[in-house]
Amino acid sequence: MGKNPKVTVITAAYNANQYLKDALDSLLNQTYQNFEVVIIDDGSTDNTKEIVYEYVNKHPNLFRYYYQSNRGCVSARNSAIKKARGEYIAVLDADDIYLSSKLTKQVNFLDTHPEVALISSDIEFIDADGRSLGKSNRSGDAFSVAWHLLFHNFLGGHSQVLFRRDLIVKLGCYSKIYRYSSDYALWSLLTENHNIVILPDVLTRYRMHSDKISVKFRGEQSKFSHSITTGNIKKLLGSEIQPAIVAEIRSFWLSQFVFCKNVHDLNSLLHQIYLAFLKRRTNLETASFRKSRQLKALISKQFFYWYKFSKNLKFRNKLHILFYAFLWHKGGTMNSVLKMRSQNLADMLFNKLRSNVYIFFWLKKIKSNITIMMDRNRKVKSANGPGI
């Protein structure tokens, strides 16, 4: 390895003796070779130091070890970035594992896609003993990833990322304000002016155990994430958003539909965000009609999931949800409806309508709303491009 490695892998370790060897061994098994490893020991009281020095002594040109008093993983990661010499930074938490091709595939991608600031991948979840718990399915282009990051940490884990060091340094690295969601805060800030892509390849094994931050501090992490989402939407729209509707729109995109109550207000906010998001993305790429349809289909699909999996809702509420699903993207939702394994949708509607006279009057109201929305849509298309 030369004096200036292409990649620096950073690892923050605190009392990490149980899984650290697995993590470091996965670095030795990488097919890519031009990298260094910076390990920050965040005040461990176990034998983390002794474990790391086994690797430092055997591979002095690969591993570098630093000790600091316990100040948390945010401080440790920022310290590691400051000490990094690589053009690219990869993160490896002390309990996770890289697959052997991880660095090779991601370095090749950033080398050939200068417009991308951060590359992520799908991950395999494993338990404390290394048994597989399943795989994520979150691959996406820069457009869809940026959309999802408005509402929650769509990347999921942390160890699967590789990013350009200079861009992250300019943004101030990880924020101590969002202690347990500092990665989500940083990705949200990054995607405002840069591109993040998620590869479909599974390149990292993400270990789930009781001491994992996302498990141990789940409540605190959720509060931080909610605050970040609120800030994302406020910055995009330039106006304050009520906490209750922020909570609902987060739940909507996390498919936690039991917490979604007000269909109309949620859809209204989505429409505002949709238009503002398309406007922002024109600074990074051409927000073409194809991109607009892609986003509308994504929103429509989520409304349909809500309809399909919310079994305890009143019928007229479910009809509201289905109405918005069709309104966003008729073709995409129709394809989903045709694949339903439940009873025929037309029969279901007929049976419900026959037994509920109220629906007749409600449908008249819907017809009026459709007319108003179509008029609004014509105005939006003429002023801002394709609308809802």
206 and 275 co-located in one domain: no
Burial code (b: 16+ CB inside 10 Å, e: under 16) for 27-49 equals beebebeebbbbbbbbbbeeebe
Is the residue at 370 inside a domain? Answer: yes
pLDDT at res. 383: 54
Is the residue at 199 inside a domain? Answer: yes
Cα→Cα distances 278→144, 192, 194, 385, Å: 11, 12, 15, 9
- Residue 165: which of 86, 241, 272 has the closest Cα? 86
In whole angstroms, give the CA distance from residue 35 to residue 28.
11
Q: Which amino acid is at 151?
A: F
- Residue 273: which of 304, 305, 234 has the closest Cα? 234
- Bridge partners (DSSP) listed for residue 97: 205
Residue 208 domain boundaries = 7-221
pLDDT at res. 311: 74
Is the residue at 16 inside a domain? Answer: yes
Determine how β-strand 63-68 pairs with β-strand 88-91: unpaired
246 and 278 co-located in one domain: yes
In whole angstroms, give the CA distance from residue 203 to residue 105.
9
pLDDT tens, N- to C-terminus, the chain (388 residues): 447 899 999 999 999 999 999 999 999 999 999 999 999 999 999 999 999 999 999 999 999 999 999 999 999 999 999 999 999 999 999 999 999 999 999 999 999 999 999 999 999 999 999 999 999 999 999 999 999 999 999 998 899 999 999 999 999 999 999 888 999 999 999 999 999 999 999 999 999 887 766 566 566 878 899 999 999 999 999 998 898 999 999 999 999 887 788 888 999 999 999 999 998 887 666 556 778 888 999 999 999 999 888 777 778 888 889 889 988 976 555 455 444 444 344 444 444 444 444 444 555 555 566 566 666 666 555 555 443 3
pLDDT at res. 131: 94
To which H or E segment does residue 104 belong?
A: helix 102-112
Is the residue at 85 inside a domain? Answer: yes
81 and 194 co-located in one domain: yes
In whole angstroms, give the CA distance from residue 358 to residue 271.
28
264 and 193 co-located in one domain: no
168 and 91 co-located in one domain: yes
Is the residue at 131 inside a domain? Answer: yes
Q: How many domains does the chain have?
A: 2
182 and 300 co-located in one domain: no
82 and 186 co-located in one domain: yes
201 and 301 co-located in one domain: no
212 and 303 co-located in one domain: no
182 and 136 co-located in one domain: yes
To which H or E segment does residue 40 belong?
A: strand 35-42
Are 86 and 7 a contacting pair, CB within 8 Å? yes
